[in-house]
Amino acid sequence: MNMYSRLRVWLISPSVIVALCICVALLTVFQFSLRTFIPGSLDVGRFTLANFTGMNKSIYWDALRNTLVLSIETMVFSLLLAYPLAYALVRVRNRALKSVLLITAITPLFLGEIVRTYSWIIALGSTGFINSMLRKMGLIEWPVDLMFTHFGVLVALVHVTIPVVVLMLSAAIAHIDRDYEKAAQSLGAGPIRIFVTVTLPLSMPGILASSTTAFAWTFSAFATPQMIGGGRVPTISTLIYQLGFSSMNFPLAASLSVVGLTLTIVSLWVFGKVTFRFKRIGGH
């Protein structure tokens, strides 16, 4: 074995070890999902399928549906808000303005999800920044319920997701050859038509990659729905937490985890099939 082969083995080994650990963890969760829950004990009983057959209840369906809706809404609003910011970040020529946009887009990544979520708790509370400003402007008399609502969770999730979406979109936009836009302009196309017919299709791979990331990220989000939702906005992750650490029903929590993982894989597969044609358009 030459030096190049040994170096390749050393570089690949950490990822292989991590992949094996993930596989072992997934197998452990799957094994727990097929066990019987013993009340008052951390031990599990015999193998059974009752954990899966007993999921035909409204509480589980509500959590699954709410998680899916939140993931789609977060994906859509993150794209709508992040694309103009990413476009300006790449195309603006003023260095000072570009620095401000870059700091605005990246700084939230250094704060951490928990810190950003606590910030939204302060902003969305009954005596928080938003309600205080609305009352000072005379628009409301009583505080608007923003905490522990679907809207509050959505706002916080979009804020958490936007920085990553901006970075992915800006990378895709930066790789667009400006000669295509100049050619369209020389043929008489206006700015809007150039954007719709040239820039947007060529940035489609970045749009699809960032939307997939936003969807998967939101689907598995826990801290934000738990802290902003306060248990009133059920999602798969918060329900798993309640089953595992409140009821100590780890087999049922594991089975719900398997269902959530399966639903994520199926959703991403369907999403990939639906957007395959757009990927080909963006690739050309």
Domains and CATH numbers, the chain: 70-233 (1.10.3720.10)
Query: 274 exposed, middle or buried (CB, 10 Å; 0-12, 13-18, 19+)?
Result: exposed
Place of tokens 């700015």: 191
| Per-residue pLDDT at 141 | 82
Rounded distance between C-alpha atoms, residue 106 and residue 25, angstroms: 32
| Per-residue pLDDT at 242 | 86
CB 260 within 8 A of CB 267: no
CB 209 within 8 A of CB 168: yes
- Cα–Cα distances (Å) from 101 to 93, 111, 155, 195, in that order, read 12, 17, 20, 21
CB atoms near residue 277 (< 10 Å): 10
| Per-residue pLDDT at 278 | 59
Query: 268 exposed, middle or buried (CB, 10 Å; 0-12, 13-18, 19+)?
Result: middle
What are 24's strand-pairing partners?
none
| Per-residue pLDDT at 165 | 92
| Per-residue pLDDT at 202 | 87
CB 33 within 8 A of CB 250: no
CB atoms near residue 158 (< 10 Å): 21
| Lookup: tokens for 208 | 């699809």
Rounded distance between C-alpha atoms, residue 35 and residue 38, angstroms: 9
| pTM for the predicted model, two decimal places | 0.83
Query: 238 exposed, middle or buried (CB, 10 Å; 0-12, 13-18, 19+)?
Result: buried
Taking the alpha carbons of 252, 257, 262, 266 in that order, is the dihedral positive or negative?
Answer: positive
Q: What is the pLDDT along the chain (284 residues), one digit of tens a residue?
A: 567 777 777 888 888 899 999 999 989 889 888 888 888 777 788 888 888 887 888 888 888 899 999 999 999 999 999 999 999 888 888 888 888 888 888 887 787 778 888 888 888 888 888 888 888 888 888 888 888 999 999 999 998 899 899 999 998 998 888 888 888 888 888 888 888 888 888 888 888 888 888 988 888 888 889 889 888 888 998 888 888 887 788 888 899 989 888 888 888 788 777 766 655 554 55
CB 210 within 8 A of CB 165: yes
| Lookup: tokens for 169 | 């979109």
CB-based contacts of 12, cutoff 8 Å, min separation 6: none
Place of tokens 């920044």: 129
